[in-house]
Structure 1
Amino acid sequence: MTLTPTRTILDEARAVGRGVGAFNVVHLETAEALAGAAEDAGLPVILQLSENCVRYHGAFTPIALATLAVAEASSARVAVHLDHAEDPELALLAIERGFGSVMYDGAKLDFDRNVATTRLVVERANAAGVLVEAELGEIGGKDGAHAPGVRTDPGEAARFVAETGVHALAVAVGSSHAMTERVAAIDLDLVARLAAAVPVPLVLHGSSGVPDETIVRGIRSGLTKINVSTHLNARFTGAVREYLAAHPAAVDSRSYVAAGRAAVRSEAARLLTLFASTSKETG
């Protein structure tokens, strides 16, 4: 199947009150697992490459082309997205290479500089039919640059969307990146006020630390794109540990990496189904 535009997936989900899983690719096996999860669940998925992932692989092109190839070969509806690009040039490169969406992350900049740089990315993306996600109000856990209690202001969010023309907005509502325990609480009232204030899908980053039931309530309050990375990484690593403990003589990395891939596929399919369970079409 050909790539599905991110915009199509998000607009359809938002129209019926459904959440969409946006899961981070770390290596080829992750991409394979996530596309397989979408096939198993019969639901669309967004595969994300972060700036950190690109740095890990040493260059954008190899891991980007591999992820695009996995998406194109899948029988599921799969979109490919660039996540947390603080370098606008990387965002522009992803647009040129055929990604369905990019996130330009200018949250560390002051409001006016964030608006100006984001607008430049949006202009280039619009010419290519690519969706742009941006961030307003830092999400916790990013390089330690987060003051407890920071939240996105609905009025400022409305102004930011209007001035930049972004197509999706990542908001700070209480979640935090890289959490390994699912104990975070999110401000559901703020989610609802943000959803009423802006005309674009809202994105929850740091979802790995948020319990299932809270994510479902967040989707019902107005969240659409649910980003998950650390939670799935933990499943991959746990399965590898279990395999090696049971097979201490194993030397072929394919055997234990396959175990990790299978664990991610199973859990990602469960999450996709959970996020879609809020749809008005399914009650």
Structure 2
Amino acid sequence: MALVTTTEMFKKAYDGGYAIGAFNVNNMEIVQGITEACKEENSPVILQVSKGARSYASHTYLMKLVEAAVMDCPDIPIALHLDHGPDFETCKSCIDGGFTSVMIDASSRPFEENIEITKQVVDYAHKYGVVVEAELGTLAGIEDDVVVSAEDSSYTRPEEVEEFVRRTGCDSLAIAIGTSHGAFKFKPGTKPQLRFDVLRECEKKLPGFPIVLHGASSVPQEYVHMINTYGGAMKDAIGVPEDQLREAARSAVCKINIDSDLRLAMTGSVRKHLVECPADFDPRQYLKPARANIKELVRHKIVNVLGCSGKAL
């Protein structure tokens, strides 16, 4: 099976009351861990690449890793998505370079400017059969080059979504309902709570239209504890409760982005191995268990959070 777009994925997810996991990839072990889990769970998947990942690994290496995953998982629908494309040029480069989906993130711009930039990307992408995700509202937190303070974040205004989608022609819409980027999403002592009222209003304005949640890592405390036990310093790392993400996946939310959880699983495993086996110096010795941890994390998300196990066909 060749790379696919998210169009059919999202239609089935919307009708079926589940979401597709969009997992950020940076290297071979992460790609393998994700896709091996999807193969075992017979789950569709979105592999997404940020601008930072392209700078780190290069477009060519990432494309070849994803092509290898497609060959290794011929029965699993895999989409390749640009995460947080900052401008038209970056989106165009990914469209020309074989991506099947791109996100243009002009959410920090004024409403009219966001529409103008998003429509420019949509017009170009649709000529080549590539789908486009856009964003309204601004998430707090840090993810690669995306840095937004809590003061500058804002919830999506439901009264704007219908006009935005109609005028841009985008294929899916990322909204801000209280998720945030990074591993430190909420202040210690507070009870994380997503704004389901905003989500429901957006659903009413856009019936049948796929919604996306960014910044949706749950920051598993076992990996935070593992990192801290073996020399790390991640005090007060708090994520989005998984039961709230599962509730969102039953609604119009068809794509849930997960990045920090993968980083935590890999980093915790590597730290643990190097402390417990100080004589090891072969990267395969510590990357193999790290890859296995990513695989188990993704399997857990597929089954218990996203609800997309067995949905590959």
Q: Structure 1-normalised TM-score?
A: 0.92
Asked whether 1:230 is paired with 2:257, we answer: no
2:201 pairs with 193, 202, 224, which one?
193
Alignment of 1:48-63 (within 5 A): 48-57=48-57, 59-63=58-62
Asked whether 1:260 is paired with 2:259, we answer: no
The residue matched to 1:274 in structure 2 has which SS?
helix
Asked whether 1:16 is paired with 2:16, we answer: yes
Quick one: which amino acid aligns to residue 274 of structure 1? N
Contact in 2 for aligned 1:54/1:60 (Cα 8 Å): yes
Asked whether 1:74 is paired with 2:73, we answer: yes
The residue matched to 1:207 in structure 2 has which SS?
coil
Moved more, 137-146 or 17-26: 137-146
The residue matched to 1:143 in structure 2 has which SS?
strand
Alignment of 1:17-166 (within 5 A): 17-57=17-57, 59-75=58-74, 76-141=76-141, 142-147=146-151, 150-166=154-170
Partner of 2:220: none
CA 53–230 in structure 1, closer or farther in 2 if over 3 Å, else same = same
Quick one: which amino acid aligns to residue 192 of structure 2? A
Mapped partners of 1:68, 1:147: distance in 2 = 41
2:179 pairs with 175, 180, 183, which one?
175
Mapped partners of 2:10, 2:270: distance in 1 = 33
Quick one: which amino acid aligns to residue 123 of structure 2? E
Mapped partners of 1:277, 1:89: distance in 2 = 35
CA 232–181 in structure 1, closer or farther in 2 if over 3 Å, else same = farther
How many pairs align?
Answer: 279
Quick one: which amino acid aligns to residue 213 of structure 2? L
Measure how far apart 1:84 and its partner are: 0.4
Moved more, 127-136 or 145-154: 145-154
Partner of 1:212: 242
Mapped partners of 1:177, 1:274: distance in 2 = 21
The residue matched to 2:250 in structure 1 has which SS?
helix
Moved more, 134-143 or 162-171: 134-143
Mapped partners of 1:216, 1:17: distance in 2 = 10
Mapped partners of 2:295, 2:215: distance in 1 = 20
Measure how far apart 1:181 and its partner are: 6.7
Quick one: which amino acid aligns to residue 172 of structure 1? A
Moved more, 92-101 or 178-187: 178-187
Task: Give the alignment's Cα RMSD to 1 decimal.
Answer: 2.0
Quick one: which amino acid aligns to residue 19 of structure 2? G
Give me the identity figure in percent.
33
Measure how far apart 1:224 and its partner are: 1.4
Structure 2: give runs of 5+ residues left out of the alignment: 218-238
The residue matched to 1:251 in structure 2 has which SS?
coil
The residue matched to 1:267 in structure 2 has which SS?
helix
Mapped partners of 2:71, 2:213: distance in 1 = 26
Partner of 2:234: none
Question: After TM superposition, where is structure 1 displaced by more than 4 Å over at least 4 residues in a row?
Answer: 180-183
The residue matched to 1:248 in structure 2 has which SS?
coil
Contact in 2 for aligned 1:68/1:80 (Cα 8 Å): no
Quick one: which amino acid aligns to residue 160 of structure 2? E
Q: Deviations over 1:6-27 (max 9, x none)?
A: 2221121112121111110021
Mapped partners of 1:146, 1:72: distance in 2 = 42
Q: Structure 2-normalised TM-score?
A: 0.84
